[in-house]
Copies of this chain bind each other. A is one copy, B any other.
């Protein structure tokens, strides 16, 4: 399941529903990304741009590939778009598997994908102005681990 949410969501309600529907799962891994008040940049919010339709299509394709690759029972991505304030969740990923290694690895894999290969564009809005963000070299290295 992929959802692009244009307003604040409750990650716990989403995970709760995900767990209820993941029949037969023994292991649920989740990741919640929150907007951090980056000290040096005085970040006040993020703005997330997307390509409606295309962004969901591409993320969903990767979710289906991840389910096959790690033999998951299910996987979910919910990502905010538009303005997201400091402290708010910007992304949640959840994976359900029989055993924990697959659930952990798949969750990690999906986050690495979202950071550098999903059609999303992130702008930092801070006290000192705005700045579009490109993935860090660490993000690219993280992604390259799966090749």
CA–CA, A26 to B13, complex, Å? 20
User: So how many copies of this chain end up in the complex?
Assistant: 2
Q: Is A59 an interface residue (CB 8 A)?
A: no
Q: Is A98 an interface residue (CB 8 A)?
A: yes
- Closest chain B residue to A115, Cβ basis: B100
Per the CB 8 Å criterion, the residue count for chain A at the interface is: 30
Interface 1/0s, chain A 33-55, versus B by CB < 8 A? 11111000000000000000000
Sampled A-B contacts (20; CB under 8 Å): A11-B19, A12-B15, A19-B32, A19-B34, A25-B34, A26-B36, A27-B31, A27-B34, A28-B30, A28-B31, A28-B32, A29-B29, A29-B31, A29-B107, A30-B31, A30-B32, A101-B138, A101-B142, A104-B104, A104-B107
